[in-house]
Structure 1
């Protein structure tokens, strides 16, 4: 079973694994506030502070453990790491659903961050089974799983929460267990013994994981673009709801509808169009195009005159989603087979670190410019900053991926 060649089930399993990770994250969002209130006896505003701390803890644990998980997969293979993570998710969601006190929730979210760090292993698995020139499109499938999970998770969580606000945790646990069984039956190992390398703690910490990528100058330079992008992108999870309430006077249902639109358009682009566009444009041009379109979308969000306009911008933002998979494909093509896990782990750690600090920055900017006493009332300020940061990311990508003179001369 383990030694057979990966087929369509292997790629389907990776897609489902990431999808279930996102559903598991999204399914608890609608019910987490009420669960905190029930456990602590706090008011909802007071509980929100603890909810923010739980979100930051989740991202921080991903930052710390993504390189550990990625390097473990380079040492022991992708299959056992993925199986371990799914088993961990099964128990973790069960523990959170039964949590009697707040500190148990904190333990649960910390463990969720650890097991969620297997996103890097999923990326390495795709790199193992996909030719370098097709990886951009395959990485786009992970983006599609994120989008679908973002649609299914909160919607399902809200529905189940009407029955019992602990029920979504138990359903998430059941989904993880079902995927564990599916993977045990169909998932082969893809990392050949000759491509494995020793596990070293020096390379398995967030700083070490990034430092070891210095031997690949293009990759190391592109990490700066990724950092800038994720800081800007934090305006979505951190500010989106507040922005809709403040500027467009949206209801909660309208906020949910807008988030569903984001998920649907993202799934369409990442699942179907991204691979074709990257193949047609080439990875470098697709990355530049995607990040440039993202810049335009951020600026449009900042100055959107009404809620209807936002839905047009959502489509534009979804098209921008081809930039990430294309850039990931470029970077994956720069490292050998025995370092794919380390690369994906380093990228996930960097994204998680920006996810810790980005929301703190964006929410503070929103507060400063949405305060009625502010000298300039501008709720779209976080998106304006996101656009500026993405401009710098485009410049970095253009410079880092510029063909060498001898290569350009040969092509001429």
Structure 2
């Protein structure tokens, strides 16, 4: 399990490097804030289409081949980005990287394969911790490599470093990661009649409990797309003016990343055993929405220290929502269809991030600088009520398979 954690972590650090600076990469090539977030959204568009495909392929042929292919492909995407001289090249690089990021369904299925059901929340927490550490080390490294001045920022070197890390993850899978899904299960699944990806999505979404859990993840991810994509631009914009260059983003991202890692890596397990996933999801939804409204108010008041604290609070709330929904979707899925179910879950999640990321720049530019934060708060109210509905179905013993 910990070898898989290490592989995922390396890959996510490479991804995290570009998080705080990608929007400025596009802005420097002539994009508007609205177009910059659309280009960011292409990542989620591609990921939406490939996540269920890669998840199902991992059920047929094993987790390891999917992880190798995707990490090698991500390396290619970063190299293209490093050499981009126009916005269309940025778009192509973003689509390739997003398509390869669909491997997260296979990674989650891998962790599920090698963990017992009672340790499922812990396994999902390790993946969450990898995300948290990726968002600690990656953005800090990316911002450092880019420099402290937006006018003279170096965006090429971070892209090359991201590519190098993805290639390192590829080598780690090749030489250190054994296959987790035994040949008997792969052969049995390949012998069954194959269904199209659309039919798989329809089949999973027909199941009442699965549908509600997936819609909960969908609502959260729309909000996350709205917030995460616009945050670097928001923090540097005249209306907030919290930073002067890429390196100024580091304290905010460290506050969020460290909190995310601590909560998912160390607190989610005990909190889940004490309160259950349903209570944590509802509490996390309310905390996420309230924290973002607080950040908007604190920025207007120029209370940067308070924005740091609220960034950590938002990240902690995000951690329990993400891990709770991931744990629920994994618990009542059958062994041979786990990759498919989690693939659909992740696919709908990335669709949500796609919607949020594509729209947030327009809301920021044409409606209100803090508009995205208030949209997120409304979505968290929706998530709160969805989580309550899931809890009622769950207590009745409903399964994800029916």
For normalisation by structure 1, the TM-score amounts to 0.82
Partners of 2:259 and 2:342 lie apart in 1 by 25
Find the counterpart in structure 2 of residue 262 from structure 1.
256
Q: Which of 334, 343, 346 pairs up with 1:345?
A: 343
Partners of 1:176 and 1:219 lie apart in 2 by 33
Find the counterpart in structure 2 of residue 173 from structure 1.
163
Q: Which of 251, 256, 270 pairs up with 2:243?
A: 251
Residues 296-320 of structure 1, C-alpha deviations (whole Å, 9 max, x = no match) = 3234334434332222222322331
8 A contact 2:278–2:324 mirrored in 1:
yes
Query: Structure 1 residues 267-276 or 50-59, which shifts more?
Result: 50-59
Find the counterpart in structure 1 of residue 182 from structure 2.
192
Deviation at 1:36, TM superposition (A): 6.0
Partners of 1:210 and 1:13 lie apart in 2 by 31
Deviation at 1:406, TM superposition (A): 6.5
Deviation at 1:148, TM superposition (A): 1.8
Q: Which of 264, 271, 287 pairs up with 1:293?
A: 287
RMSD, matched Cα: 2.9
Deviation at 1:103, TM superposition (A): 4.1
Q: Give the SS at the match of 1:402.
A: helix
Q: Is structure 2 residue 120 aligned with structure 1 residue 135? A: yes
8 A contact 1:284–1:401 mirrored in 2:
yes
Deviation at 1:98, TM superposition (A): 4.0
> How many residues are paired up?
383
8 A contact 1:302–1:381 mirrored in 2:
no
Query: Structure 1 residues 276-285 or 344-353, which shifts more?
Result: 276-285
Deviation at 1:335, TM superposition (A): 0.8
Partners of 1:99 and 1:388 lie apart in 2 by 37
Find the counterpart in structure 1 of residue 210 from structure 2.
219
8 A contact 1:71–1:203 mirrored in 2:
no
Find the counterpart in structure 2 of residue 240 from structure 1.
231
Distance 1:109 1:406, change over 3 A: closer
Find the counterpart in structure 2 of residue 316 from structure 1.
313
For normalisation by structure 2, the TM-score amounts to 0.84
- Name stretches of at least 5 consecutive residues in structure 2 with no aligned partner: 148-152
Distance 1:335 1:33, change over 3 A: closer
Deviation at 1:246, TM superposition (A): 4.4
Deviation at 1:337, TM superposition (A): 0.8
Q: Give the SS at the match of 1:401.
A: helix
